[in-house]
Structure 1
Amino acid sequence: MRNLLDRMYQNQLTLAAALVELTLHVEKSGFSETSENVRGALHTIGKNAGNIKQALAKLKSKEKRNLTDDRKQATNRYDS
């Protein structure tokens, strides 16, 4: 699951970068209203990317805690 979320996050960043390039081209062509709409979409992408990044950090932290707990339990069983 974490790997899937990592890939989705990377895709989101890549798409945002491509949209920035297209937005710059659209602005140079004089379509300011269109570029404003795209910038609004980019803002949403950026906000969501931040939320995804936070969720990934929490998931990774939880996985590390679970791994540590599993190791402690295994050690306790061995010591018993």
Structure 2
Amino acid sequence: MVKLIRPQQHLSARGFAWTEGFQPFTVRLIGVATVPTVLMAGATIVHVRRREIARRGSLPVLGVLTAVLALVRFVWCTF
């Protein structure tokens, strides 16, 4: 979420060297994509603790979509 708040130059100086290869808009877009991923991970933890996996058929589907989003994001950011 830091990618949403901090300017690109600040991120680069703080160890996010990969931000130098992207437009500021793209860095912010990656920050926006991080928010639903974090929320989905938190929701998954809550459902697993409550043992609601069997009652939630959409949970595995959303989990796979989240994993694909994270994979695409990390693969895309390595270029």
When normalised by structure 2's length, the TM-score is 0.46
| Bigger proportion of residues as helix | 1
Q: Which has the larger radius of gyration?
A: 1
When normalised by structure 1's length, the TM-score is 0.46
